[in-house]
Each structure stands twice: as structure tokens, then as C-alpha cells.
Chain A
Amino acid sequence: GIQVEQSPPDLILQEGANSTLRCNFSDSVNNLQWFHQNPWGQLINLFYIPSGTKQNGRLSATTVATERYSLLYISSSQTTDSGVYFCAGGGSQGNLIFGKGTKLSVKP
């Protein structure tokens, strides 16, 4: 099956800093999503981005499908951005296969 690799596994930032999270896939995927998991466990859907670039406020994402990777950009980070960020790619049954996540800590 598809392998999803996220980097870095942990990231500590000072408030106001920018960051880039990366997701690599072992094979082509038709679907790709980025999530933020809050401290209560809820998955917040950030982007559905199988290809191209999208922006939503301070967040943006780019997927280069031909090279099997996706990037999530966080600009001017805030303490509320802390949490775990997951990327997930489409499996053969329409399900998503998740990476191990990037744990982000934003310090005031």
C-alpha cells in the first residue's frame, strides 16, 4: 500500500515565525488532505489538495502530484496553531492513509 512520510516529526517555533511541513508519498494519490488535530483530538480539515496550490488565511498548501509530495505553509504562526498536523493520501478503497504527523509547538 501507499506509504506516507511526513517531516519534520517535531517542530518548535517562536510566535510570528513561518514554517513549512512536508509530506511525501510512495506512489501517486488521487486524493490528498491536510488536517490539524487539536488538543481534544478533533481533526480540522485544512485543505483538500490533490494538486495545485490553495490558500486560506495564513495557511497555504501546494501539491506537486507528478513528484508525489505536498507542502503546508504556515505564516506568522500563533500559539493556537500548536498541535499535530497530518497529511493523508487516497487509498485504493477511497479511504485516506495517514502519515505519522508533525507535532508543532508555537511558543509565545
Chain B
Amino acid sequence: GAVVSQHPSRVICKSGTSVKIECRSLDFQATTMFWYRQFPKQSLMLMATSNEGSKATYEQGVEKDKFLINHASLTLSTLTVTSAHPEDSSFYICSARGPLASTGELFFGEGSRLTVL
């Protein structure tokens, strides 16, 4: 149980276009999901916290108008990179707390590698 799936795993787009990444909890409901970004040879940095039915909370320095997050259901959160530029090229990973309310264990998706040309 506690499987988190992301789609697409890889995406290449032209500069100026928008890209949507989906994060799904397959076998449990997730009221909160977390979006991370990882640049090459670096660690994972939290971008935003996605809350079902309400606005996402963004970390300092993350542009909320550029990285649109929608958590419209208990099993799906989406991250849209708007007007993407080459500096947005990165590995984006989502996570969700598992179904056991007694623990804080987070489960991660497979990640989505974005390349902006």
C-alpha cells in the first residue's frame, strides 16, 4: 500500500510553454501532498505544500504564479510550470503522507524530469 505515482516521468518542452505534472495517491487518500525540486547533484528542496480543497502554501523564493498547484481531490495534486524557461529544468518529486494517521512517514512518487529547451 501507500503508492504515489507521478506522470509524466520525463517531459521536454520549448521555452515559453506550460507543463503539467500529476501526482496521484493510488491506494489511499491524501489531504496533504508535498512538492519538491531537485537540481542536478543537489538535494531535494521543498517547493510547496498542497492541501486538498484550499490554496497551496509556497516556500520562500518559490513563485506561486509560475508554479501553479491544484489539489482538487483527495488522490490528485497537479503542478503546472507556466511559461517554462531553461532554468526551470529540474527533477520534480511529489510526496504524500501514508494512510496510517499515527505515523508521519512520507511516500514519494517516481519523479518527473523536466527539460526546457
Indicate if the CB atoms of A96 and B95 lie closer than 8 Å. Answer: yes
Q: Does A30 contact B (CB under 8 A)?
A: yes
Known contacts A41-B91, A42-B111, A93-B57, A48 near B46 by CB under 8 Å: no
Chain B contacts with A in 53-105, Cβ cutoff 8 A: 57, 91, 93, 95, 97, 103-105
Report Cα–Cα, A91/B108, bound state, in Å. Answer: 16
List chain B positions with a Cβ less than 8 A from chain A.
32, 34, 36, 38, 42-46, 49, 57, 91, 93, 95, 97, 103-108, 110-111, 113
List chain A positions with a Cβ less than 8 A from chain B.
30-31, 33, 35, 41-43, 45, 48, 50, 86, 88, 90-91, 93-101
Closest to B105 in A: A48
Which secondary structure characterizes the binding site on chain B?
strand
Q: Point out the residue from B32, B57, B91, B106 that lies within 8 Å of A96, measured CB to CB.
A: B106
Q: Which residues of B contact A97 (CB under 8 A)?
A: 46
Q: Which residues of B contact A86 (CB under 8 A)?
A: 43-44
Report the minimum CB–CB distance from A85 to chain B (whole Å). 11
Indicate if the CB atoms of A31 and B105 lie closer than 8 Å. Answer: yes
Indicate if the CB atoms of B43 and A100 lie closer than 8 Å. Answer: yes
Report Cα–Cα, A71/B57, bound state, in Å. Answer: 32
Indicate if the CB atoms of A94 and B32 lie closer than 8 Å. Answer: yes
